[in-house]
Amino acid sequence: MQLPAVPGALALALLAFPVAFGMNGVATLADSPGALVLTVTLVLVGLFCIVYFMSGGSHFQDPLFCVFVVFAFTSAVDLVISLEEDGYVSGFVELYVWEGEPYLRTAHGIMICYWDGVVHHGLYLAMIAAMSRRKSYRNLGLFWLGSLMMSIVVFLLGNLIGKYSSDVGPALLLQAPYVLLPVWAGERLLRQPRALPSLAADAVAEEQRKGLHRRPQDLALVLFLILAAAFTFFRGLVVLDCPAESCFEYSYQHEPYLRDPVAYPKVQMLVYLFYALPFLCLCVYGLLQPGCAWMLDGSLVFAGAVAQMRPWAGGTAALLVLAGVLSSAALPGAGGRKKVVHVLEGDSGAVVVQTAPGKVVTHRGGTIILPCRYHYDVAAHDPDEIRLKWTKVTEPMAFEDVFVALGAARRAFGSYRGRTALQEDGFGDASLVIRNVTLQDYGRYECEVTDELEDDTGMVKLDLEGVIFPYHPRLGRYTLNFREAQQACREQDGILASHDQLHQAWLEGLDWCNAGWLQDGSVQYPISRPREQCGRKDTPVGVRNYGYRHKDSEHYDAFCFTSNLNGKVYFLKTFRKLSYAEAVQACKDNGAAVAKVGQLYAAWKIQLLDRCEAGWVEDGSIRYPIVNPRARCGGREPGVRNLGFPDKKYKLFGVYCFKKAGEAAPARAPSPGHPNRV
């Protein structure tokens, strides 16, 4: 009886489903791993015998036919394993995975099963089809050889040295055929005749005599191979825990899984470093000195190995993306044995100031703890496997890196360096401590906890105590686009306010008739007393919203926000009134600087500065702060009075100065006059 080629192989591969389902239902195998391994071995041997006897005496004279048919069956089993681990099927291989090879439940294990069940299975069928038509399958076989050897070497070494080394059992012996048979198959493949080139020998010789500069394709390939070799060397240093800053930056920003304690990616990179890197150098030599016949076969084997390594070759590789998608959708296994990683917002235990879950409040210069706690199966997972990452949400889909913890490594980024650390108050505490809080720290922060295939996030909002102040420059009202409004607020010791901050200011009585930019790119203004010139008298009170405007072409004022001062604003007593230039020099002589608008507002709101004397401030405007309103000081409402932007040469006003904390106290002018009483 002759077994049809491809249909027969497919039929035998489909037996993987009923065989796996039947073995999974035998409860006695769960109590004896040895019996489980023996049963699997007998199934494979029986399958091999069936294939051998059914194909014996037929036109299938190649002994590799039986090997490929049996391997097609095992690749189908691997596909079932990966599908069950991702929750698409159930009840087929749960017993074998849990009791035989638990390391198959890792990200690498699942992807190896997908690779074997899809790519290798397709290669087996293609080579079987070539055998049936008596065609050469040498090139396909060499590609398969490289892919399978790379897969099994990394898989075996990763199991022996990684975190699952203690779970290695008799089932690992089932990998022996994947080590021995490819060696034998490779020897037979290399002895098969190589396909001859279609070019004449003279044409080939003439092409080989050309210099590299006359072979642009080879020149481009040489440059690419040199870059690939350098990149391979660098990634090898990364997995060897290179102490350089660039190594940590790369492992965090692009390939954090290289530090995974399961050790598969580390082994992958070391194999790549010690075996693939020399081959890349040999390929450069072969292109510089044409005629190296070994490059043809070596390149096919290397191509298969590199194709299998693509999940670890870059953060955006297609297979890695597939792993993330499938793993994120993984369903819990029976018995609830899948781990759970979850962030609990607001459960901090030691929050400095917390007004509501997920929200903490401090002031500029203070210290704050952003709460983030998580829980997981302590018995099944080492805390060092957890990857913690804090980011700041700068726009709806944009993030700024703040802090990351990979195992024992800790790293802060940008302006957060030297100011941030993890609280680490017991297991499951990922709370972030921020010292010397700045205005730019205001906003929403995301705490991300990742453990192998699973991750979860929580959001915490950092709020600041401070004051809103409307602002327009000397050029007049409605002259700022969004970027200019941001810059104007920064120059006056502030940042663009958020909608929440503006709404809170409105609740506290802020009433302003001019629309201004906010942090999110919207344009709004608060109205507490409706009037005709501010949207009609019969309209309701509230924060009126123009919506999101064009950030470059449209112009409005700005609503700025500032917080606590690390210093003091004071009115400098002088013998006479000053021009702007004289005011700047007077503050400088006093060991200070002319106060900015935001500093004057912060002094009025937080330090309760009350002064009924107009003075220069940094932007060239004339202002003065009133805490206790009185008739001769500009009205019945508290606030910072603004007299506009006079000519800077006028000597009609005093000056408000700002001195940082810790500096000498203000000195008296040489000839003090008699200041006006307040």
DSSP one-letter code for 336? G
> What is the C-alpha end-to-end distance of the chain, expressed in Å?
114
Strand partners, 466: 563
b/e for 562-599, b at 16 or more Cβ within 10 A?
A: bbbbebbbbbbbbeebbbbebbbebbeebebbbbbbbb
Residue pair 595/571 in contact by the 8 Å Cβ criterion: no
pLDDT for position 201: 60
Q: How many alpha carbons lie under 13 Å from residue 39 in its C-beta half-sphere?
A: 18
Place of tokens 């699942």: 110
Q: For 365-369, which contacts have Cβ atoms below 8 Å and span 24 or more sequence positions?
A: 365/436, 365/437, 365/564, 365/566, 366/436, 366/437, 366/564, 367/433, 367/434, 367/435, 367/436, 367/437, 368/433, 368/434, 368/437, 368/462, 369/423, 369/431, 369/432, 369/433, 369/434
Residue pair 556/643 in contact by the 8 Å Cβ criterion: no
pLDDT for position 416: 94
pLDDT for position 177: 77
Cα gap 170→330, rounded to integer Å: 28
Place of tokens 């926000």: 561
Supply φ then ψ for residue 140, to 5 degrees.
-60, -40
pLDDT for position 25: 66
Rounded to the nearest 10 degrees, what angle do helices 16-24 and 64-85 cross at? 60
Element (H, E) at 479: none
What would the pLDDT profile of 270-284 be if each residue is shown by its tens digit?
888 898 899 889 888
Place of tokens 């004057």: 600
Classify burial at 101, counting beta carbons within 10 Å of its beta carbon; exposed 0-12, middle 13-18, buried 19 or more.
Answer: buried
Residue pair 654/637 in contact by the 8 Å Cβ criterion: no
What would the pLDDT profile of 505-523 be if each residue is shown by its tens digit?
999 989 999 999 999 999 9
> Nearest-5° angle of CA 245, CA 251, CA 254?
120
Cα gap 676→633, rounded to integer Å: 12
Q: Which of 332, 431, 335 is nearest to 374 (CA)?
A: 431
Cα gap 423→244, rounded to integer Å: 26
In the chain, % helix, strand, coil (3-state, to 5) comes to: 45, 20, 35
Cα gap 179→175, rounded to integer Å: 7
Supply φ then ψ for residue 198, to 5 degrees.
-80, -15
DSSP codes of every residue in 206-236: HHHTS-GGG-HHHHHHHHHHHHHHHHHHHHH
pLDDT for position 676: 37
Q: Which of 61, 60, 62, 78 is nearest to 17 (CA)?
A: 78
pLDDT for position 338: 33
Q: Which segments in the chain show pLDDT lower than 50?
A: 1, 27, 57, 59, 310-356, 667-678
3-state secondary structure of 312: helix
